[in-house]
Amino acid sequence: MTIQSTVSDIVVGNGKAKNDRAASLQQLLSLRPALDESVIWMKEIRDRATARVQELAIPSTRDEEWRFTDLSDLLQIRFQAGSKQAPTLSFDAIQPFILPEAVSSRLVFVDGQYDPALSSVDDLPDGVMVTSLAAGAELLSDLPNYLAKQQGSEETFTALNTASLTDGAVVWVQKNQAIASPIQILYLSTATQPTIAHPRCIVIAESGSKLTLVEEYVTLYDGAYFANPVTEIWVGENAEVNHTRIQRDSAEAFHIGKTAVSQARDSRYTCNAVSLGAKLSRHNLEVHHTGEQTETTLHGLTIINGEQVADTHSTIAYTHPHGSSNQIHKCIVDDRAHAIFNGKVYVPKAAQLTDAKQLSSNLLLSPKARVDTKPQLEITADNVKCTHGATVSQLDSDEVFYLQSRGIDEDSARKLLTYAFAYEVIREIPVASLREKLAAIVREQQA
């Protein structure tokens, strides 16, 4: 065989693979639910996203942004459309997932569909709206000006979510309003078959407002399903949003999520992202600063074992001076699991006097555990204070020995050190009951 024929075979093979991935994406697009006449205003948004999806293919490891995350297993499953009618669940069934602090500020979605019977939004203060997207559109005429308007909306899975849009969650806090209790948005899966869901959430915090948001992705069964959520957050001038995102999907599930944030002048945004579940998960977290003196704090924690794959890609993009950010991402990886972290910070020339810190800290608990980490700074401004770093290590034998010298057996010492490593992120979660629940889950995993 000549070299030229070999190259031709490779090119043809690559073309076939790309066509297969494009066909797989179109099959997922074909599963999108029909649009109800009550939300016909979404048609233009969906049609625009549909046109974009038809130009794309599911990413492969040849794509730089996906080179460590192989979606081949996703391609092997023939997903089905979810049921038009979500199953009826009792409150007792979801009780373990309910936050007592959010007793009157809770939205529940079952298999991607809003369940008003399980939700509780009747006792909210004036100036705070927590509702479904379909219902909110009737009350908020400005909603179409925010929906699907964040940067990055043309990315493959984000566009697929928008093309499949029928409903979602809306949190809207008006100017100078603050809600003391956290707002919980619970996405619950009951899938026992390979179905796909596209949860959507839009959060608008007007100038001077303040809120705490908790998003949770949980499951009742160990089915193989695909969750493709998108959350858009608009933080107005001098507004503050504290956002906690917990992913605890089925061990057979696929979860590819996007959080897109826009921060105006003097705003403050905090994200506490914890990833525990799913066979393969990815969280794309993108924060865009659109004004001066913005503050961003990102805390991330990934705990995986078995053959799980968990990928976090984050972006903080500055455009104005006097911005600051502090990011800490931790991974605990056991067995043959694989964690990926890629954190980008863009500081252009216009963003003078930026103060950005980034740290990726990783703990490997077995010889076959793997982590690929890439903290990344791209700076063209010349008057900034930016740092980044990465560590990959096993438990420190000296620390283990120190605890043993205090009467703790070796196994307990290792579990204690692992828990302490994770708790640095867990302690930042502002909701006490959720903080305690996650701490208990970490302890159980180490048992």
pLDDT tens, per residue, the chain with 447 residues:
344 434 334 344 455 666 789 999 999 999 998 887 777 778 899 999 999 999 999 999 999 999 999 999 999 999 988 777 778 898 899 999 999 999 889 999 999 899 999 999 988 999 999 999 877 666 677 888 899 999 999 999 999 999 999 889 999 999 999 999 999 999 999 988 899 999 999 999 999 999 999 999 999 988 899 999 999 999 999 999 999 999 999 999 999 999 999 999 999 999 999 999 999 999 999 999 999 999 999 999 999 999 999 999 999 999 999 999 999 999 999 999 999 999 999 999 999 999 999 999 999 999 999 999 999 999 999 999 999 999 999 988 888 888 888 888 888 888 889 899 999 999 999 999 999 999 999 888 766
pTM of the model: 0.93
Among the three residues 258, 273, 291, which one is the final residue of a domain in this structure? 291
Number of domains in the chain: 2
Q: Which amino acid would we find at residue 36?
A: D
Give the residue among 352, 447, 338 at the shortest CA–CA distance from 69.
338
Q: Which amino acid would we find at residue 268?
A: R
Among the three residues 272, 291, 310, which one is the final residue of a domain in this structure? 291
Among the three residues 247, 262, 291, which one is the final residue of a domain in this structure? 291
Q: Which amino acid would we find at residue 7?
A: V
Task: Tell me whether residue 305 is in a domain.
Answer: no
CB neighbourhood size of 394 (10 A)? 12
Task: Tell me whether residue 26 is in a domain.
Answer: yes
**How many Å apart are CA 444 and CA 41, to the nearest integer?**
47
Task: Give the DSSP letter string of 260-311.
Answer: EEEE-TT-EEEEEEEE---SEEEEEEEEEE-SSS-EEEEEEEEEE-TT-EEE
Task: Tell me whether residue 134 is in a domain.
Answer: yes
Task: Tell me whether residue 370 is in a domain.
Answer: no
Could you tell me if 245 and 111 lie in one domain? yes
Q: What is the span of the domain harbouring residue 123?
A: 3-291
